[in-house]
Amino acid sequence: MPFVKRSYIHLRLGVILASEKQASLVARPLAEEYSVRLEQFEQAHDALDFVRKKHPQVVIADYERFGASGIYGLADLMGEADAPVILIVRDVSEWEREQFSALNVFHVFEGSFKISELGEKVTLAMKRRFRIGSSDRLPVVGV
């Protein structure tokens, strides 16, 4: 029997907090193009439970999924995930934009965007996380 060399691709772990339809549009391209396996959740509390156990490298969230808890739910998720967060938003107030900035949300997509743009931001977010340490909320220091 001949020896067959196998190669394995390690898929990085991410979380997507979005509707099933939104997640299905994003998950496959990110897995294929950017080697990111996304665990999908529709409820923020389920995503929060998951990140406490699995520590993903990136979180992608539809801001509307936080519902009434809004910015406070986002802050809780960011604190537990200790990973870069990319938000997808529709209509947000200036106050919410300021809060995203104060929380150091890695990137905010408002309205329509291309999957390739999301993939590029996911890749940058993961590189940034490993470059500066365990949290993307640490200050960046020039070398």
43 dihedral zone (left: phi>0; alpha: psi -120 to 50; beta): beta
pLDDT value at residue 32 = 85
Answer yes or no: is 90 within a domain. Answer: yes
Burial class (CB in 10 A: 0-12, 13-18, 19+), 73: buried
Share of the chain above pLDDT 70, in %: 82
d(CA 137, CA 139): 6
Answer yes or no: is 137 within a domain. Answer: no
pLDDT, tens digit, 9 for 90 and up, residues 74-96:
999 999 988 899 999 988 899 99
Answer yes or no: is 7 within a domain. Answer: no
Answer yes or no: is 3 within a domain. Answer: no
pLDDT value at residue 11 = 63
pLDDT value at residue 7 = 44
111: domain range? Answer: 12-132
Q: Whole-model pTM?
A: 0.80
How many Cβ atoms are within 10 Å of 106's Cβ, its own excluded?
24
Name the domain count of the chain: 1
pLDDT value at residue 111 = 86
Q: What share of the chain is helix, strand, coil (3-state, %, to 5)?
A: 50, 20, 30
Residue 78 sits in a domain whose CATH number is: 3.40.50.2300
pLDDT value at residue 131 = 46
- Residue numbers in the chain where pLDDT is lower than 50: 1, 4, 6-9, 131-143
